Structure 1
Amino acid sequence: MRKLLVLGKPGAGKTTFLKYLAIQCANSQVLGEQVPLFITLKQFAETENQPALTTYINQLFTDCGVTEAQTRDILNQGKGLILLDGLDEVREEDSDRILNQIEQFTDQYHTNSFVLTCRIAAREYTFEKFTEVEVADFDDQQIETFVGKWFQAKESDLADYFMEQLKETKPIKELATNPLLLTLLCIEFEDSGAFPPNRSELYSRAIHTLLRKWDDKRRIVRQQVYKKLSVQRKEDLLSEVAFTTFKGGEYFFKQRDVEQYIAGYIRNLPDAKTDPEALLLDSEAVLKSIEAQHGLLVERARSIYSFSHLTFQEYFTAREIFVTANLEELANRVTEKHWREVFLLTAGMVRDASKLMQLMKNNIDKLVAGDEKIQEFLSWVNQQSNSSDVSYKPAAVRAFYFSVSFGGDRDFYLSLSLNLDPRFCSDSSLSLSLNLNIFLSLERALDLDFDLDLDLDLDLGRNFRDRFTMPEQKYLLQQLKDQLPNPEEDKEQFKQWWKVNGKDWTEQLRAVMIEHRNIGHDWQFNKQQQELLKQYYNANLLLVDCLNSDCYVSQEVRQEIEDTLLLPVK
């Protein structure tokens, strides 16, 4: 397996895994005949003069005392283990260039081994010759092993007590499947013996513990200014740095820039030095103290810094928004996917998230308010929801119709519908009661995931005839059903039949649906409308996820949002 794409959620351990591979390879424990090279893709993407990946790798080897001829031999002989970290952290404007560089380099030096990491669903990438794997969540045994090793130097029964408490607290146990969050849980438990109920509180208390212990761990030269900062001031400083860099799309930043951010903060503190040179020296001392004493900021390359994990940058960004009550600016970013975690964390921080939810809802509605065709589509979604003889919340039913009619994936309609009405998924007859345009997803199912989606669609299809009361409808649909070969007898034969006849068959079914149930319309949205609907679609999902997170929202606001979700703008 020469090419591997490692996907994972934030904090799953993707970067740690690559570093582990590099160390194991260097120690001849894994791929001992190869030479490991770790590359942070965002750093490569933002290198001055935008060098080709080959040139960049040559320079990295040169810095380590390897000649260009030796580097060429390593690559030509397939002896390189090239570890490419953080594709999702590359800026949007650099993305196409970096993708092309990776494709060209991996094709030219295809005999080498490549491992590439990326957050799950960060962007839609296609690497034809890469095998995709996902970093799995910790299972119960792995959690217990991790906890045991964490507390092995402590009291003998502390790990057992941790596991007992973890099993009794389901939401926290779900967090513990993530290695980074489990680390924070261990820090929190070790310090206070209890678990906080929400994620933002977890980050807050764990980081507060780290910050409080900074000055007791090590002594750093020129740390006097830093030692005067209270824990809150330290958090304020990191929050300001995080917000400034995250807002600018900077996951990696130059040392002189972050020192300027620090100087801008500490110059306003009591007894701060006013001399620019002295202030700059103090800023450097503060930066080095932060790096040495807790590692929330780390030097990735010479004079290049970042937060040690993107999750910390997201947390401190959310904290800055919370402290400054800058909810309007956050709400304006409701369509920017990389702000998702910041929204969820901020919602958990504010005392009352009602205002944030309302701002998000207003901005989401504005996205499509000026497009008549989309408004017509939303009116149709509402009409279909109102005509469905089911006892579920209207917003959940609208989410269903929106998804299957626009072509969204089932994860969306299940997530949005189930979050709005937990009964939605418990009754398997619901999908049948909601008309049959889900059956039209059969064509997509064959293209995307034949076995998985086909089974579901055919199960629905076998029962659809009974949901129509008029004899003419039943007759027409039975005729269409009779045309289908039995996929249980030969799925490959069915697949081949569908390739030849599927389009005509679908159009016949669509015509019956439109005439008798007003479903199955081909809306023919242009590319701009499709992108707009996709943004609208994802923003509503984010809004519902925020509503269902551990945040406080008044019942009136919650009901108002639910009542108007996925409705045309009046």
Structure 2
Amino acid sequence: MVDPAALGARLASSVVAPLVKKLFVKDQPGAGLVGRPVRISGLVSFRGEKRDVAPKDVEKIADELVRRALQAAGPGERPVDAGENIAVRDALARSLAALGTLTIEDYEAVALGPEEFARRLREHTPVAAFGLGADAEAFYDELLHTAALHILNFFTQRSTYIARQQTGQSRQLARLVKAIDVLLERLPSRSAEDAAFEERYAAYITTRHGSLTIYGLDIYAGTSEWPLDTAYLSLQATRDRPGEGATQVAAEQVLAQHDHVLLRGVAGSGKTTLVQWLAVTAADRTYAHDLTHLVGRVPFVLPMRRIVRPGAELPLPSDFLTAVGCLVAGEQPAGWVERVLRARRGVLLVDGMDEISEDRRESAKRWLRDLTRTFPGNLWLVTSRPSAVPDEWLAAAGFAELALSPMSRDGVATFVRRWHRAADAGEAVGTALLSAVRGAAELNRLATNPLMCGMLCALHRDRRGFLPQDRKSLYEAALTMLLERRDVERELYPASDTRIAYATQIQLLQKLAWWLIRNSRAEMDRSDAVHILAEAAPAMNLDGGGEAVYASLLLRSGLLREPAEGRVHFLHRTFQDYLGARLAVQELDFDLLLNHADRTEWEDVILLAVAHARPREAESMLRRLTGRATPRGKLLAAAALPYAAEVAPEVRDLVGAAVRSLIPPRSTADARGLAQVGSDLILDLLPGPEELTDDTDDTAYHVVLAAAQLGSEAALNFLTRFRHHHRMEVQLALASSWSLFDRGIYTREILAHLPQQPPVAVRGPDDLRALRSIGGWREILVLGPYRVEDLTELIVGERLVRLALDAPHPVEGLAWLSAFPHLADVSVYADVTEAEARQVPAHVSLNTVRRHGD
């Protein structure tokens, strides 16, 4: 027996749409000019003077819908007998005839949605009078719902429909129709038992994986877990193939491009979250995400740490649900998983290949190969940390390899907003955190994946809106989470793995970090790392030798990564600097630190060394930095002062006097000199607009000039504090600096907020598009060659008041200036003929500057 409620869903749009169309009159010539909604009763084809279909024909349409649905069921699957077929037809015809009595307008019907619209039609049908049994009534309801969906979709396709009023709902209807068609192709005949179990299993998947958990956070109950549908953030996955370069795709779309995917990602990069989201999306029956490759499929979430058991074989398909502890496993019909896989409807999400011991990975590889060959046509996603398996590990089984990319700036902002909304924290708290992250280089470098962003959010809220004022505490919290709590709470340590205590991991990692810093290296040979660890292992009472210690740190710490075969580096440079500085202080390597004070890459190491140092050691470092002849030493001392827990007053005064000789800058030369230091550390020392209240000097201008020259994200965040400054010189400095930053971000964050809209220089179509994205600009200077088509198409004519053209060659005509109705002045830095000058509209003032020697 087939589920009677599923029969209606077996009607493809190619069957239903033509039948539905017969119920309504055709659009007449000129109908597209109608500017008002249309009542449904005025659209039906079986009422009024110009009816195309007789009322009796509505019964024929209903009969055809019933016949086609039963035909799609196949022999032996019909839940109603011939007598009930007629009763279902009559009830359906009565409901469809009710279209002629509806006085609501077409856009109002679309807004109701198919469920509510079907209910309105059903209200006109006394179903009990037709003597329908339970199965027949379920069949009638499903047919009515299917017809309602296509009727509403038909409304949105008509020329008279005012699409702008319900665009979102129209798209949703179109998605539903498309999803049903895909579902019909993918969903073979199922028994009522299979269909009923799939409904229960889908509900279980949604409940089991419908929330997101962040591990290892010292926070109060309620903030470590929140609904997945509000917290999920779309990430990018990168595929880098030799000879083709790197290509990016949204991570949730990787299975749309490849049936088999091995997805690599560092600790906390969002691999498990993606697995959860794909599982819940596949189990969801609303199909609202435009992921047609998941329509009609059944997800199987297979965490490797749960399904791999000591001394046991990996599970057969029939044991998938039992192996992961699925609470409805005992209800599954015999052979159900195999039938799903044979029908090519499975989405198999194998999470955490790195979370099983190395000696089991080869057997897992064989298991994957056998399953993909035995059950072809299903979708497979396997996740792993980067170094757990070698490149092309599953290539022979047809798996494409991709890697999760770091979060973008906009992605970080979205994550922070959603986190605070889900944690029921105020929007202002999230905004303050974003400001802190963007304004501090070390926080900005940390916020690269969901795990680290979640840590920052939790720490920020736990401290009532403030992150730890000293970086040392921040990094200690992060390291505790990464090295100890997260994997322990997730029970990731197999009995065969080397488990290293937190304090010992810190000692080992800082040896690697200090070696890299001392040797000015970004990465090291794997053999060097193993050698360093092997030498340290006996003193720390570690068994297994350097190789075992290295393997444990690589897989479990989340801090080390192998970017290529035989190479290793720290995932975050910030942690390398923190750990290296810690060992430098332990080894009393202060001379080595201070001898590198003029090198930008050593700045964070020196700052963190002051944080780790004892009071006398910190004071000595500050004195020696202040006494250096270069501005960098004085600035570094000023930046390091807050890192020292205890400093004598005379040392504080010494550092203060040194920095006051440099900041704030008092001239353009001073500003450029500060910028030449080339470090964001000056940003914490520069005064903000609230501190610059004297309108008689140009200090604010010089401060903006110095910060802008850095061109960093922290500098951009600093400049946002000046975007509403009233002095024109400051506005000019901000407008002239956008070429130093990412064009799109600077346009949104700075230019869009400048009230006076000073002149902005553009150097090509991309610059013009950026200005167009914020509604255009009043005064534009075009530098270099240009195409007239670009200027007329990309410049917002209603906003342009002044235009300057600084091209190396004369302009070919100026008649196109008439495209800008509010243009008052145009300056041309080229020779202009009298004929060209006459082409300028009468209301535009033309200024020409001749170029000599061209």
Q: TM-score, normalised by structure 1?
A: 0.43
Higher relative contact order (CA 8 A, sep 6+): 1
Q: Which has the higher helix share?
A: 1
Q: TM-score, normalised by structure 2?
A: 0.31
Q: Which has the larger radius of gyration?
A: 2
